Structure 1
Amino acid sequence: MIQLDVLKIRQIIVKIISKTPTQRYKLTRLIQLDLLFSSPMSTVTASTTVVDSGELILRSASAIVSTTERCQHLLRIDGYSHIKASVTAGNSIRSRPFRVGGHDWHILYYPNGNSPVASDFVSVKLELGSASNIPTNLVWDPWYGHVQVQTVRAQFTFSLLDQAGEPVPPYSYRYEVCTFSNGGTEGPVRFIQKAVLERLEHLKNDRFTIRCDVTVIRKPEAKDHVDDGSPPTAPPPSDLARHLAGLLDTGESADVAFEVDGETFMAHRLVLAARSPVLRAELRESAGDVVVVRVDDMEAQDFEALLRYMYTDSLPETRGGDAAAAMLPDLVAAANRYKMERLRQVCEDKLCEYVNGTTFAAMLTFAGEHHCHVLKDKCLRFIDDPANLRSVVETTEGLEHLIKTYPSILKDLIAKLAMNVKM
């Protein structure tokens, strides 16, 4: 160790702090060397400096690093035929925004091509929206002292997905680095020929899915430390739903007992209050260690599914489509009863998958009674197809319901059916 008296140490410190930052650094290094070679009791080895031919060489390192951010966005086209018939060539439908690299992006879907020349094809394009906290694409550059157009560099791929959710190789288009400004678009004009798409199995129940992989390349910047190249450790997936499900299954610390259809279900007041405004209001006025709530007009299995959704935000897995379809209407009614909007939407979307000639009348009736606008639209789009309309009118119940509920729609659709038969 270096042994110095207190006076000399004080003199060194005063000398250092009286200088500018750059001077301090140089002076500190010289003082270190002075102490190293002038102190007879020094055994310190200077590992951060090199003395070569009497010249002091300071070593440091930095790196120019370009980082990226990637996102996959799925665009599901539901009602392909109806959309194709209602949107002309050159016009597009914009997807909901998704955020990558601090910017909003959209997918532009052209059901009849982005121009009359490409009207036999489906076109898709990637569009850049506004940057985060920047209302326009003009930004002030303090270095050059004038306004510059802000641009974003990105790689992207458009892919048609099969029923398993995997890209179909002939219809996957990769774009290397493209430069976007606000409102700028890029993408395959001839993504897939409509006639080909309509023959493929990937268009099922009048719907198909397009995936867009976007990688935003951020502006390179200098960093003091060089990464060691090892990939960052990804955090494990959230297990909150699993822990809450365990709390429901064990009934530990439960303070609410529901009596439903001869069965008792234990639950937790705080979880119920957070999930349903109706239950929050009911339980706020209740007192006691354990509150007993009687639920009428609901089967035990439906209430159990409702309760599990409150804890896990997911519906229980059921074996067989018939069992799932039978439970969904009851869950929609329960969601309306307890004002759980997301549960209602999830069940309504699943009910749309079961619309056919046999279920049409029941589904349309249910949609009207429970204000399920998405399900109602699905039913009416279903009978846009002459073959589907024929299957509905051949069912006495379906025909009677259509006449009573939607006579004007039936009149138009029968005229369409007659034209189709003549062809």
Structure 2
Amino acid sequence: MTTPTRLFGRGSWPETRRIAEVLRKETVGGALLLGAAAIALVWANSPWAESYEALRDTRVGPAPLHLDLALGTWAADGLLAIFFFVAGLELKREFVAGDLREPRRAALPVAAAIGGMAVPALFFVLLNLGRDDGALRGWAIPSATDIAFALAVLAVISTHLPSALRTFLLTLAVVDDLLAIVVIAIFYTEDLSVAPLLLALVPLALFGLLVQKRVRSWLLLLPLAAGTWVLVHESGVHATVAGVLLAFTVPVVRSAAAGGPDAGPGLAEHFEHRLRPLSAGVAVPVFAFFSAGVAVGGLSGLGASVTDSVAVGIAVGLVAGKAIGISASTWLVSRFTRAQLDEALGWPDVLGLALLGGIGFTVSLLITELAYGAGSETYEHAKVGILTGTLAAALLASVVLRLRNRRYRRLYEEEQVDRDADGVPDVYQRPSAEG
């Protein structure tokens, strides 16, 4: 009789150790993101709000290339391309060389990400069906999960979230981000210019050829990456898509000619190690600074924003939609694939994780700008909805995970004991329940 797969079962020790390192960097980035967003909110609602708007709208860049963009646009189109490049590297590595290369392990985060995007979008649409002012263009806003923000919440509540759940949260958020990019490319591209998009394939192919041959020189790679970005931007497709396309060309393991997988990791790990601090520590916080400055206009303005159906749809989607979508998808996987929840965990753990998935910020703000246009009244209301929903999801997740903190600490301590001379906890060297 085949032993059923364990949902959120303990993965391999190398992958657990790598994920722990990634999460430490993302947690620091999350703290910077929170600080940048707080500064923007205070500044945008202070007597000096005009100076914030002037800084955000300052245009820089070469006009002949149509790149004389506002600083806020540079943050959304340029810096977030770095963020999505790192996300693309992470996703490719997980599915090529990580624990998720096994279809039975990959099925859960993929299904949860899809459910966690579909249900919030459904809630938003249902709450805005009667409007004819273009409000429904924001259906994808509550679909995104902000991994940096979510990990910052985990750091604040000091939880000992089990490594398998932390890995799942990271993978869920990465898959979520990549699905969001697909949504942006398909549904938020209005004026498509085919010629620049086809021309972008030239520097993209050259970039891919060089990285496949393990060329690391930024003097060669950076101009090709920039050329790809410029041409994608010129085509009308959101320029962050270029970051994902470039990431997918980078090899995760060495080719047979270079000694094969046993000869060491491919360039993906090298680039990820170099660029993740830039992404988490600079790109995302700067984007948050230029995007989170919502002028609420006092209590009356805040009241008008939070009661607008767009803001309500976003907040309900982030809190209830994400919790239901992720939890229900996980239950469906367990129901129809013979997979069982790991014996050390309970469904309240899944609920806490699903609530964390409702912390949407970076990509939600990006989609808001694409859906409604910066400066419009609906745009401002949507940003209030994002902040409200994110805050509510963070508070609810904190309550649930604090209630489970004693259980998490016991699991964490179990993983740290019985460490042999090889430095690997014995719990990772025992036969797994999956056989």
TM-score w.r.t. length of structure 2: 0.20
Higher helix content, 1 or 2: 2
Larger radius of gyration: 1
Higher strand content, 1 or 2: 1
TM-score w.r.t. length of structure 1: 0.20
Q: Which has the higher contact order (CA 8 A, sep 6+)?
A: 2
